[in-house]
Structure 1
Amino acid sequence: MVKAVVLGGIGQPLALLLKANPLVTELGLYDIVNTPGVAADLSHIATPAKVEGYLPPDDGLAKALKGADVVVIPAGVPRKPGINAGIIKDLATGIAKTAPNAFVLVISNPVNSTVPIVAEVFKKFGTFNPKRVFGVTTLDVVRASTFVSEILGDLSLSKDVVVPVVGGHSGVTIVPLLSQSSHPLPSGFAKDNLDALVNRIQFGGDEVVKAKSGAGSATLSMAYAGAEFAAKVIRAVKGEKGIIAPTYVNLAADAQGGAALTKELGQELAYFSANVELGTEGVAKINPLGTITDAESALIKAAIPELAKNIDTGVNFIAEATKAEAAKSDEPRL
């Protein structure tokens, strides 16, 4: 029995894909509007998952999260990091109280900061397990696979093309290791073309926003990527071995693997997206970068300062919020 919970209305296509996953037997939905109707709609689909939708009144978040095994968080407003930080803090508080042992998959941007926000909230409640909190960077991997297959002239390869993408999940922090692609780029692939491909993977979200004339972002491809990663986590939790996927995690999740990766990076970072082996407890092993090119090494070097800044932003947000809450509770009551 697996209960998956989706927190946030932009997760409708994601909820549809999870409902279609035969391993999911219960699906909980939570958002500030429309959720009961979305749940009723999904409940007519002939797959095993029983679907229930909740709104904030009457302890809806706690009801949605009760008994959750996997919680996926796509909640928030596209490209509004300040707003999203507060939303993620509140949702993480609900998870820490109601489903502290769930596997938490964070999609809400900026992932480089929202994952530390979730972790810091869990730490406040004494329930942080670094093995169970993931930043979903799968869209970068999906884009890399798609774009490489386009260059190879055969989109039917896209499901088989595997390109590790490390670092983080925004702009220059996204580092595709194209030299490790399961399907090598054509021999003699020009450096200018390679640079353009890296840039397209890093800033693929901008491509979608522009095509939607600023009226939306990558919700459908993100839903697909989120469902793909959730499916891998569920399969691993149910005992399937050998599942490896890039994901943004706290390096304390695997002390040995984290230390080896830190040595490769040449700098300590609390979080980094790397090839992670998934297991019944979540993170089983953090794999090293392996052999990379000088150009890829330069990309990682450029990513590190931005990642460090993003991580600090998330940690500091919770520290400031905690301080403000403490000050408020100390105010004299009239």
Structure 2
Amino acid sequence: MVKAVVLGAAGGIGQPLALLLKANPLIDELGLFDIVNTPGVAADLSHISTPAKVEGYLPPDDGLKKALTGSDIIVIPAGVPRKPGMTRDDLFKINAGIVRDLATGIATTAPKAFILVISNPVNSTVPIVAEVLKQHGVFDPKRLFGVTTLDVVRASTFVSEIVGDLSLAPKVVVPVVGGHSGLTIVPLLSQSSHALPASFSKDQLQALTTRIQFGGDEVVKAKDGAGSATLSMAYAGAEFAVKVIRAIKGETGIVAPSYVHLSADKASGDALKKEIGTEVEYFSAPVLIGTEGVVEIKPLGTLTEFEKGLVAAAIPELEESISKGTLFITASKL
């Protein structure tokens, strides 16, 4: 039996994410929580002819606790979406408190669950969840993941467009490392499973890299104030969640990039720190996932000079974001 929970299930990401999870036969029970409309979303989904039982909860009457009870995997897309002109720092001010409160509920009700954080800015919200769990004495870095899958999905799609065959998109694999915002997103295009054309210039490589890094801005602008990347993020979140569920069920060899605390596997985490030349605590890298969560953090491999420059540029922003998330909890405690 697998119970999946979506926190923020009535939102722009939460609803399509819940739909995709309801459609997956690996899930037996689906718990939904949000501050409005969750019972209606649950009722709607419950009419779909797939096995998962769906329950929706609101804050009154211990709704969060009821949603979380018995959960195996918790996906958190809760928070406000990014609007035109809004930076991820602007998002932080609003979403940090939301994530903190949800993390407190997880710490007290479902401390052993696998936690997948989608709420932006991920570079900061994952450290917020970690610090809350630490305060409650239940932090297990092997079970906490920042979902960076959308960056991978975008890279795969954009490369298949350049190759000239969108039917390849599900097969194209491009490792994307670093973090999940702007310059911290580092696509390792030299390691793409499908090579870029030999004629691909340096300027074209830079343009493709920038498009992957700032793909979210492309969507925000196209929606003209009506939202952000909700549908593609829901797809990416479901893809990663299902990989974790497959690992929980005992499938071996599942590797996916994710933003994790590098103590999740100390030996490989320390090796990665040495590889990137920093003592940063969190980093997105290909992760081997097993029944207990993170098994191994894979090395980045051979990087081009261009990619080494991207990693170097990502580190300062990454360190600042991590510190901001950590201090949001630790400084407020003081």
Range of TM-score over shorter length = over 0.9
1:152 matched to 2:163: yes
Q: Tell me, yes or no, if structure 1 residue 238 matches structure 2 residue 249.
A: yes
Q: CA deviation at 1:284?
A: 0.7
Superposed, which structure 2 residues align to 1:142-291 within 5 Å? 142-291=153-302
Q: For residue 64 of structure 2, what is the aligned residue in structure 1?
A: 61
Match of 2:6?
6
SS at match of 1:291: coil
> Cα distance, 1:320 vs. partner?
2.4
Cα distance per residue 1:275-331 (max 9 Å; x no partner): 0001000101000010010000000000000000000000000012223xxxxxxxx
How many angstroms apart in 2 are the aligned matches of 1:179 and 1:153? 18
1:33 Cα shift? Answer: 0.4
Cα offsets for 1:247-300 (capped at 9, x unmatched): 000000000110110011111010000000010001010000100100000000
Give the secondary structure class of the aligned counterpart of 1:256: helix
Tell me whether 1:31 sits opposite 2:34 in the alignment: yes
**Unaligned residue ranges in structure 1 (runs of 5+):** 324-334
SS in 1 for 2:284: strand
Give 1:78's aligned residue.
81
Match of 1:137 in 2: 148
CA distance in 2, matches of 1:244, 1:181: 15
Cα distance in 2, alignment partners of residues 209 and 81 from structure 1? 17
2:137 corresponds to 1:126 = yes
Runs of 4+, deviation exceeding 6 Å: none
Aligned position for 2:88: none
Shift of 1:97: 0.4
**TM-score, structure 1 as length reference:** 0.96
Match of 1:99 among 94, 107, 110: 110
Alpha-carbon distance in structure 1 between the residues aligned to 2:21 and 2:143: 19
Q: How many aligned residue pairs are there?
A: 323
CA distance, structure 2, for counterparts of residue 184 and residue 283 of structure 1: 29
**Structure 1 residue 185 displacement after superposition:** 0.4
Letter in 2 for 1:112: N
In the superposition, the TM-score normalised over structure 2's length comes to: 0.96
CA distance in 2, matches of 1:235, 1:47: 18
In 1, Cα distance between equivalents of 2:172 and 2:333: 44
What is the RMSD computed on CA atoms of the aligned residues?
0.5
Quote how far apart the aligned CAs of 1:214 are.
Answer: 2.1
Instruction: Tell me how far apart the structure 1 counterparts of residues 229 and 332 of structure 2 sit (CA, whole Å).
Output: 30
The answer as to 2:60 corresponding to 1:49 is no
Distance between the aligned counterparts of 1:279 and 1:184, measured in 2? Answer: 30
| SS in structure 1 of the partner of residue 79 of structure 2 | coil
Structure-2 separation of matches of 1:214 and 1:302: 30
Structure 1 Cα separation of the partners of residues 152 and 120 of structure 2: 16
| Residues 57-115 of structure 1: per-residue CA shift (max 9 Å, x gap) | 00000000000000000000123221100000000000000000000000000000000
Name the residue aligned to 1:326.
none
Give distance in 1, aligned partners of 2:33 and 2:241. Answer: 17
Structure 2: segments with no counterpart, 5+ residues: 83-90
Equivalent residue letter for 1:281: E
2:27 match: secondary structure: coil
